Structure 1
Amino acid sequence: MSQPITAEKLARLERLLERQDIHDTLTRFSRGMDRFDRELFLSAFHPDAVIAAGPFVGGPVELYDWASAGHEQGQVATHHNLLNVTIDIDGDTAHTETYYLFVGRNRDDSNWIAGGRYIDRLERRAGEWRIALRTNAIEWSGLVPTMDIPFSDVPDIHLDGAPARGKEDPSYRRPLINTRKPQIP
């Protein structure tokens, strides 16, 4: 037996949708940076946003140019992993705290790992949530021992697409299909 949809339940559903829209915004930043997808990255920020990240303080276009150049020069792969997210919504403004784990495979084959929190103010403008202000609280960093990437010796490992910084990455394929033959080692 289904229960009637009450005003309270509708309000909770609306809040849940707002939270999901905010979470999607935070994810667009990470994926855009890791895939070097400028358009996706910039879609996470209002054009007049201010971002303070390490030595950088400025807008989203300048941040993308600065960060992608640094990642291109320093790493062959990066992962901006988002962890715990706290979202406080007040009308068309939201404040978030997002724990992150950054991992980069450096060009010298070392692995850099860092953790911290993105502390953001998001604003809903024209019905769309985007970051208006970001502070990056870096709390620790270090190098992890290097080892070979698992399964790199499998001849057809990248037949379905090799990891890439760009839209040639398999995550952009639609529809995603498997072209590798069945094999059980």
Structure 2
Amino acid sequence: MARTLEELDAIVADLQDRSAIRDVLMRYSRGVDRLDRDLLLSVYHPDAIDDHGVFIGTAEAFADWAIGMHTTTHVSHQHAIFNISIDLDGDVAHTESYYMFVGLNREGKPLTMGGGRYMDRFEKRDGRWAIAARVCLRDWAQLDAVPEHLDQSAMTAVKGLAPQVIEAMRTGPQPARDRSDPSYDRPLVVDPRRSTSG
């Protein structure tokens, strides 16, 4: 079946948008793993909010926090992106990206491992796709033993975190195995009142 020029143009535009969004997601991993602040900031719009559970705030504050935390905590680390779902709607896209993180620790256990998903609201502004809002959900983490109850109260046992950070993790977005999961939120919004960046 032959396609019209208009149909072909629409297909090419869709593929270009999806490719640009995937490039942003890959650039995020490279920026955070190379501790490259400029590269990391290039994936966000200037007014973006990132809710990483233990950190909630602006893109600039997130970049400073992430680079500081990884520099202090890890000798090296990798963020790998796997499955990517992209829901395009004009100049807005909602994405869900599965990730796995491994860090070579400076102290304590040799490795820290975890996996989860990035939920992003992308916006195309002046022809540039970038993240406008991000929610990071942790679906699993390396444990020494299986806890009796895998519920939110277990977060209070996390040592070394300030009480307000623990509260932000407890009351923030939580993964779910149904349509209450934040990956279904449209539009994805991060409440700036939850900010831990001051």
TM-score by length of structure 1 reads 0.73
Identity percentage of aligned residues: 44
Query: Do the aligned residues in 2 keep the contact of 1:117 with 1:136 (CA within 8 Å)?
Result: yes
Superposed CA RMSD: 1.6
TM-superposed CA distance for 1:75, in Å, is 0.5
Counterpart-to-counterpart distance in 2, 1:129 and 1:123:
6
Name whichever structure is richer in strand by fraction. Answer: 1
Question: Which one has the largest radius of gyration?
Answer: 1
TM-superposed CA distance for 1:143, in Å, is 6.0
Unpaired segments ≥5 residues, structure 1 = 145-185
Query: Do the aligned residues in 2 keep the contact of 1:111 with 1:143 (CA within 8 Å)?
Result: no
User: How do residues 17-166 of structure 1 correspond to structure 2 at under 5 angstroms?
Assistant: 17-108=16-107, 110-142=110-142
* Off by >6 Å, runs of 4+ in structure 1: none
Counterpart-to-counterpart distance in 2, 1:28 and 1:4:
34
Counterpart-to-counterpart distance in 2, 1:68 and 1:142:
22
Highest RCO, 1 vs 2 (Cα 8 Å, sep ≥ 6) = 2
Equivalenced residues, count: 142
Question: Is residue 11 of structure 2 the alignment partner of residue 12 of structure 1?
Answer: yes
Name whichever structure is richer in helix by fraction. Answer: 2
Counterpart-to-counterpart distance in 1, 2:30 and 2:44:
13
TM-score by length of structure 2 reads 0.68
Counterpart-to-counterpart distance in 2, 1:105 and 1:55:
20
TM-superposed CA distance for 1:4, in Å, is 7.4
TM-superposed CA distance for 1:21, in Å, is 0.3
Unpaired segments ≥5 residues, structure 2 = 145-198
Go from structure 1 to structure 2 and tell me whether the alpha carbon gap of 1:116 and 1:4 turns closer, same or farther (over 3 Å shift): closer
Query: Do the aligned residues in 1 keep the contact of 2:37 with 2:67 (CA within 8 Å)?
Result: no
Aligned to 1:149: none
Aligned to 2:172: none
